[in-house]
Amino acid sequence: MLAGCGTPTAHDGGSEGPWVPIPLEHALHFRLWQRGADHAALVLGAGGDADTIGRFLIADMKNPSSLPWRGDYAVLPATSPRAVIMSTTHLPFMDALGTLGNVLASAWPERSRSATVQEALAAGRLVPLFQNTEARREQLVAISPDVVLDHPFGHTRPPTDLAGTWVPIGEYLEEHPLARAEWIRFFGVLFGHREKADSLYFAIAERYSRTAALVAPSTHHPEVFFGSAWQGTWNVPPGNSYMARLIQDAGGEYLYAGQMAQGNLDLHMETVLADAHRADHWGMIVDVPRLIGRADLPGMDARLSTALSIGQGQLFVANSAEADLFGLALLEPEIALADLIAIFHRELLPDHEPVYYRPLIQ
């Protein structure tokens, strides 16, 4: 496989027929095509259409007369490829499709909250990848997988120490919550379960739309801060981010909705202190076991505690130590949305029990 650039088009397949694009609803970082029983997939990096980082033919046919693009590509098995997974964020997609049996090894599987993953790990059907580079290289050679699913963060070409075809998974690049969930359709094509994947995605999309519709256009939108503190600096999502869209759909007015960037925004404490007075709701993403109160939050120094006027429901947290924020939450965006609606507009969901975002009561 060779990474390249350019917007693909479906070419005439001659006697094999043309490649037909599979329409996507929200996802912007992959493309799918079908021709009979064969599929083709393209993965786009952070640069979108101008940043192709993977082209794949998923078929038994090795030399088709045409493809939806011009350039090199990798051929993957049409069904049941043997996989190694380099990021735990990919495991929920496999779990939902019932294809964990295809996964031979995974990075950090012990961190997964899935009972199915833990059962496979305990039974030895799934093994952890070694963290040492040389040991992992030998492990991958011994396993000899068909595909290695990896996040392309920091690299857009296959690492040199892999055995098996490198398949970049860029769900984290998507800005819309449903776009991240729609990556299950990519997994469905890759592992031969397209119909099941489509059914799961469209059910998720319907539940998300129904939940978002609870917030009427005329509803007052409270101002919302959301971020995390690390070594004296606050990191907040830009306006073109997953979190900004989730807050918007939940009926909130994100403080930094107008600031666009490819990564998080870094804020000085003085800026954060000033914004504390403007925010009706103050949210933080943390990793704190046994989180009880405000004093347990990182970055909550005396000046900020004084500046914040914290009452019931005004401070909320997303705590990865107690909620599967980087796993199952990808496939449950409607529940994350309901959590936030219940925080911003409790009257709309008075009986909702929080799962991923919860108020920190003082």
What domains can you pick out in the chain, each with its CATH number? 14-207 (3.40.50.1980), 216-359 (3.40.50.1980)
Least confident stretch, 65-69, 93-97, 152-156, 343-347: 152-156
pLDDT level of residue 154 (50, 70, 90 thresholds): confident
Question: Measuring CA to CA, which residue among 46, 69, 55 is closest to residue 2?
Answer: 55
Query: What per-residue confidence (pLDDT) applies to 308?
Result: 64
Which of 61-65, 161-165, 326-330 comes out lowest in average pLDDT? Answer: 61-65
Which contacts (CB < 8 Å, 24+ apart) does range 17-21 have? 19/66, 19/67, 19/68, 21/68
138 has pLDDT over 60:
yes
pLDDT of residue 25: 97
What does the pLDDT read at residue 274? Answer: 81
Phi, psi of 228 (to 5 degrees): -145, 155
pLDDT band at 356 (very low <50, low <70, confident <90, very high): very high
Least reliable range by pLDDT among 168-177, 281-290, 298-307: 298-307
Confidence of residue 310 (pLDDT cuts 50, 70, 90): very low
The confidence band for 362, taking pLDDT boundaries of 50, 70 and 90, is low
Share of the chain above pLDDT 90, in %: 67
pLDDT at 189 over 80: yes
Instruction: Say what the pLDDT of residue 30 is.
Output: 97
Q: What is the pLDDT of residue 229?
A: 85
For residue 359, give Cα distances in angstroms to 19, 68, 169, 254. Answer: 49, 48, 32, 17
Among the ranges given (72-76, 99-103, 299-303, 325-329), the one the predictor scored with the smallest mean pLDDT: 299-303
pLDDT in tens, 90-104: 999 999 999 999 999
CA distance 141 to 337: 42
Q: Is the pLDDT of residue 12 over 70?
A: no
Average of per-residue pLDDT across 159-175: 88
If pLDDT is split at 50, 70 and 90, which confidence band does 311 have? very low
How far from each other are the two terminal CA atoms of the chain, in whole angstroms? 55
Whole-number pLDDT of residue 61: 64
Q: What is the pLDDT of residue 14?
A: 46
Question: What residue type is 133 in one-letter code?
Answer: T
d(CA 33, CA 167): 17
pLDDT for residue 197: 98
Task: Give the model's confidence band at 9: pLDDT under 50 very low, under 70 low, under 90 confident, else very high.
Answer: low
Give the pLDDT band (50/70/90) at residue 2. very low
What average pLDDT does this structure show over 227-239?
Answer: 88
CA distance 226 to 247: 9
The predicted pLDDT at position 8 comes to: 53
Confidence at residue 226, expressed as pLDDT on a 0 to 100 scale: 94
Would you say 183 and 30 are in contact if contact means Cβ atoms under 8 Å apart? yes
> What is residue 352's DSSP assignment?
P
What pLDDT was estimated at residue 105?
96
312 pLDDT higher than 50: no
Using CA atoms, how far apart are residues 209 and 231, in angstroms rounded to an integer?
A: 38
Model confidence at 243: pLDDT above 60: yes
